[in-house]
Amino acid sequence: MAVVRPFDKLPALNSAAVLLVGSDESLQQKLAEAILKEKKNFKISIHLATSLPLPSERDHLRPRIDLIAFMIDIKSKYSLKNVEASLAHVDASFFLGKVCFLVTGVGRVNYCSVEMNAIWKLGEVYCSPVLYCELELEGIRVATAQRLLRMLQICAGHIPGVSALSFGLLMRNSADE
Amino acid sequence: MDETVAEYIRRTVLKIPRDEIKSMLQTWGFLSETQLQTLNFHQTKDNISQDVVQLCEDNSADIKQAAVLDIIYNHIYPNKRIWSVYQMNKTGEETDFFDLTDFKKKFKRRLQSALKNVTINFREYEDNAIWIRIAWGTPYKKPNQYKTSYVVYHSQTPYVFISASVLRSTLPLLCQALVVASNYHDIREMELRSHCLNSLKDIAFKRYSQTFQTYYPRPLQERNVAPENVDLRIIQENRSEKERIQRVNREVFGDGPQPKLEFAQYKLETMFKSNPKMDVLDIKEPFRCLVKFSSPHLLESLKSLAPAGLADAPLSPLLTCIPQKARNYFKIRERKGFFPGSFVSP
Amino acid sequence: MAEKLPEQMSDYQHVPPEIVNESVGHADAKEELLDECESIWRQMEECQSKLTLLGTETLPESDAKLSLLMMRVKALTAEYNQWQKRSPEIISTNPDVLVALGKEELQKVKNGLEMVLSTVQSKNKKLREDLKREQQWHEEQQQIVDVLNGIEEEMKNQVVQFSEKRAFQELKNKMLKLRTYKEELLNALGEFLEEHFPLPEEDGSAKKKKKNSSEEPAVELVTLHEILEILINKLMSTPHEPYLTISDSFWPPYIELLLRYGIALRHPEDPNRIRLEAFHQ
């Protein structure tokens, strides 16, 4: 299967899966560990990938993906290109609230080598929230992990009355004003 | 003792880190052990240097001895200079027996006949390396001891490592003298430069580990992958891709530490290629461009690009061929087929 | 279809686990709940099978945003309709289930209230400590204010007398100094004038002139010193009328000198009257 789809499998009981896509693996690892440290009342699995499509030989092992976070390092043009290329392998219905862009390295704007405008536009075109963070800082890493976790809970349908789509709409409106 | 000699010794001593002055003076062997014991190494370097000069005065040192101290310093700190590798060629197959005294004699004669005023010093080291220090003068001017050339020559190899003087005009003469003295026919620059003399030697003598290790990838792989993913909740989706990158990287760079180079330079003289329909820049002139990579440790950084996810593996052969080709200055021309392949920017 | 799933999912996730696990008697309650779960799960499987029939669809390169927005409109409309149609779920009427649910709810409330209580208590404690500290601080400040007031009172009397007297004395001294300085200046000026601008009688040439003009001196000439003094006094005492009429007692060369060097000025209409240049303005 070349394209990641949001409803390709039945969900597992009391669990959620997040997919982090980005070229900086050590940063992914750090974020994943931070997410695991947070208290939560469901089973989580964090899938790390450098790019999409995911290798198909592992398809049968993978649970249903509830949320995809694309990581873009502002210090690396390559990371942006990588994410742009990966977006083509995502099923369109994923963009109904189950995708977010995580912009990292925001604490070091001096070394910025990507166009911030391009990132902003990415969020705009794909109707997905753009989160800015500096994962090298402990405090912000924890806060980002909490945010992702909260979004994941919503996207996995653990919060009654809020769907991923309506939540995404909520984020949009607040961001536009 | 000549005043310039005294000043030269003083400045050389000042260059040495304080806690190494004693051992270097011992290696030098010009001052006796009793003389060395009179020296107080716990004062400022300025004072130490004055005292050393005073002792040398007593022993009436001349420029020959001062130059030896400079060689010792440069041998311990070769990375203070920039070195360039040269290769000499023979036309015939005759195998000469290398005679050191003959080499020295011919080398000296060649330079002195041309310049008269020139200071030449030799010093042999146990790895069969001959270190030559040359201070250049003219028939009418005394040699300038501060603008020296250094040559490191391994007599059983055709390679010469030259750290040229800032007086550029001396280089052709130096090369000539080397070819004559070592019974070769010509010499050419290999376009390989670095501060790290030992790495240049590793590359020129092909001493660095590369490609040999790829026959035993199994144990290495386990070693590299095992410490990751202790938590089963974190799943690496691209594990096999990562393993591929590691394998490819190992094939290209080998497993051992890389020789230390600080830069690589590519001079592009290629035509601008564009869609023939778009009539842009349809010029027959080559499109000139200079691409320079620099890093405190260039090859190691290239090696870690792909595993860090900053570039695709394998890297362009233009970047990875540096050790095999033994050069880090390239000129890329149109279609003459120097190096095929596209350019991947990291 | 896709939009329905999350809601059903959430129902299903929120069956209280306690009841499912309860093993004490209530077999039929458990049975009922399990049945409910089964039916929800069946519904989900149904949805899932419909979902798998949907093909995958990636966004077109060019007009990604438009098609995505269209999709969103459709999805949001579907979700809206779903919410409209949806009626609140009625929980099982089985008393056992209700009791268990009620217990859980109460337990939750109790936990929450306990947490609130402990928070409030600790907050109270902190506030009490703060109050104590503030009171102590206030007391200390009050003491300082009292002491300072006392000092101020004491100082007031002393300072007023002292400063008035001293200021008066100082002014007096200054005046004295100024007076002596003025005296000095005047003396120096007088001496200077006496030395360099004497009266013409003592001079031989002046006598000759007198003989030429008239035998008897008409009037007693006044010194330059005196002329200047008159001019100064005139200017100072009647600044509105500083002019002085030239009389015969003024020796003409001195008048000429005063005029030429800009020390004195002629009246613009009456050439016989002069005044001192207003140097002091």
Q: Are B328 and B265 in contact (CB under 8 A)?
A: yes
Nearest CB to A5: which of C44, C56, C69? C56
Backbone angles phi, psi at C119, to 5 degrees: -65, -45
| Kind and range of the H or E run holding B246 | helix B239-253
Residue with tokens 């990838």: B217
CA distance C221 to B259: 115
Residue C134 lies in a domain: no
How many domains does chain C divide into? 2
Nearest CB to B241: which of A22, A46, A55? A55
> Which is nearest to A95 in space by CA: A53, A70, A121, A126?
A126
Q: pLDDT digit of tens for each residue in chain A (177 aa)?
A: 467 888 888 888 889 999 999 988 888 989 999 999 998 889 999 999 988 888 888 888 889 999 999 999 998 888 899 899 999 889 888 998 899 999 998 888 888 888 888 998 888 888 899 999 999 899 999 999 999 999 999 999 888 888 888 888 887 755 554
> Which is nearest to A80 in space by CA: A47, A53, A110, A113?
A113
**Span B220-269, pLDDT tens digits:** 444 444 444 567 888 888 888 888 888 888 888 877 788 888 888 888 87
Residue C4 in this model has a pLDDT that exceeds 50: no
Q: What is the pTM of this model?
A: 0.58
72-111 in chain A: CB under 8 A from chain C? 87-93, 95-96
* Side chain identity, residue C45: E
- The three-class DSSP label of residue C119 is helix
In the β-sheet with B234-236, what is the strand arrangement from edge to edge? A130-132, A99-104, A67-73, A15-21, A43-49, B234-236
The domain in which residue C265 lies consists of 198-276
Residue A125: both structure tokens together? 């075109």
- The answer to whether C10 contacts A165, with C-beta atoms less than 8 Å apart, is no
Residue-by-residue DSSP string for A65-129: --EEEEEEETT-HHHHHHHHHHGGGB-GGGGTT-EEEEEE-GGGGGG--S-HHHHHHHHHHTT--
Strand partners, B291: B266
Chain B CA closest to residue A54: B237
Q: Is C79 part of the contact surface with chain A (CB cutoff 8 Å)?
A: yes
CA distance C57 to C2: 14
Pairwise pLDDT comparison (B39 vs C115), residue with the higher score: C115
Residue with tokens 């982090």: A20
* Whole-number pLDDT of residue C134: 97
Fold topology of A15-176: Rossmann fold (3.40.50)
- Helix, strand, coil percentages, rounded to 5, for chain A: 45, 20, 35
Residue B314 in this model has a pLDDT that exceeds 90: no
Per-position b or e across C3-42, b if 16+ CB within 10 A of its CB: bbbbbebbbbbeeeeebeebeeebeebbebbeebeeeeee
Backbone angles phi, psi at C79, to 5 degrees: -65, -40
Q: Where are the domains of chain A?
A: 15-176
- The answer to whether C72 contacts A5, with C-beta atoms less than 8 Å apart, is no
Q: Is A76 part of the contact surface with chain B (CB cutoff 8 Å)?
A: yes
Q: Is B231 part of the contact surface with chain A (CB cutoff 8 Å)?
A: yes
* The domain boundary residue, chosen from C38, C60, C92: C92
- The answer to whether B233 contacts A50, with C-beta atoms less than 8 Å apart, is no
The chains in contact with chain A, meaning 3 or more Cβ pairs closer than 8 Å, are B, C
**Span B69-80, pLDDT tens digits:** 999 999 999 999
Residue C82 lies in a domain: yes
> Which is nearest to A20 in space by CA: A102, A125, A105?
A102
Residue C36 lies in a domain: yes
CA atoms within 13 A on the CB side of B133: 26
Residue C226: both structure tokens together? 């005196």
**Span C75-91, pLDDT tens digits:** 999 999 988 998 877 77
> Which is nearest to A149 in space by CA: A4, A9, A16?
A16
Q: Are A37 and A63 in contact (CB under 8 A)?
A: no
CA distance C67 to C60: 8
> Which is nearest to B253 in space by CA: B222, B297, B219, B191?
B297
Question: Which pairs with CB-CB distance under 8 Å and at least 24 residues apart come from B175-181?
Answer: B175/B86, B176/B110, B177/B106, B177/B107, B177/B110, B177/B111, B178/B86, B178/B88, B178/B107, B178/B151, B178/B153, B179/B88, B180/B106, B180/B107, B180/B110, B181/B103, B181/B104, B181/B106, B181/B107, B181/B110
Looking at chain B, the domain(s) classified CATH 3.60.90 span 83-204
In the β-sheet with C273-276, what is the strand arrangement from edge to edge? C244-245, C273-276, C264-266
Q: Please name the CATH architecture into which domain B83-204 falls.
A: 4-Layer Sandwich (3.60)
